[in-house]
Amino acid sequence: MSPTVKNVVMLVVIVGALVAAGFFFFTRGKKETTYPKTGFETQWICEKCGKHYELSPAQYKEWLDSPDRRRRDPNYPANLVVFWCDDCKTFSVVRARIDASGNWVITQDSEGRRIQTEAAQPTGRKGAAGPKKSESENPEQK
Does position 88 bind Zn ion by CB under 5 A? Answer: yes
Q: SS3 for 117?
A: coil
For residue 84, the one-letter residue type is W
> Are 62 and 53 in contact, with CB atoms under 8 Å apart?
no
Should residue 94 be labelled a site residue for Zn ion when binding is judged by CB under 5 A? no
Size of the residue set binding Zn ion (CB under 5 A): 7
Identity of the residue, 44 or 60, whose beta carbon is nearer to Zn ion in the bound complex: 44
Q: Which residues pair with 46 in a beta bridge?
A: 93
> Cβ closer to Zn ion: 20 or 49?
49
In this chain, which stretch among 27-35, 54-62, 80-88, 128-136 interacts with Zn ion, using CB under 5 A? Answer: 80-88
What whole-number distance in Å separates Cα of residue 91 and Cα of residue 81?
A: 10
Q: Which is nearer to Zn ion, 73 or 118 (CB)?
A: 73
* Alpha carbons 114 and 121: distance in angstroms, whole number: 13
What's the angle, vertex CA 75, arms to CA 72 and CA 77, rounded to 5?
A: 75
Beta carbon of residue 121, minimum distance to Zn ion (angstroms, whole number)? 27
Any contact of residue 46 with Zn ion (CB under 5 A)?
A: yes
The only residue of 87, 99, 111, 118 in contact with Zn ion, by rule CB under 5 A = 87
Q: Is 52 among the residues that bind Zn ion (CB under 5 A)?
A: no
Backbone angles phi, psi at 82, to 5 degrees: -130, 130
Q: What are the residues binding Zn ion (CB under 5 A)?
A: 46, 48-49, 51, 85, 87-88
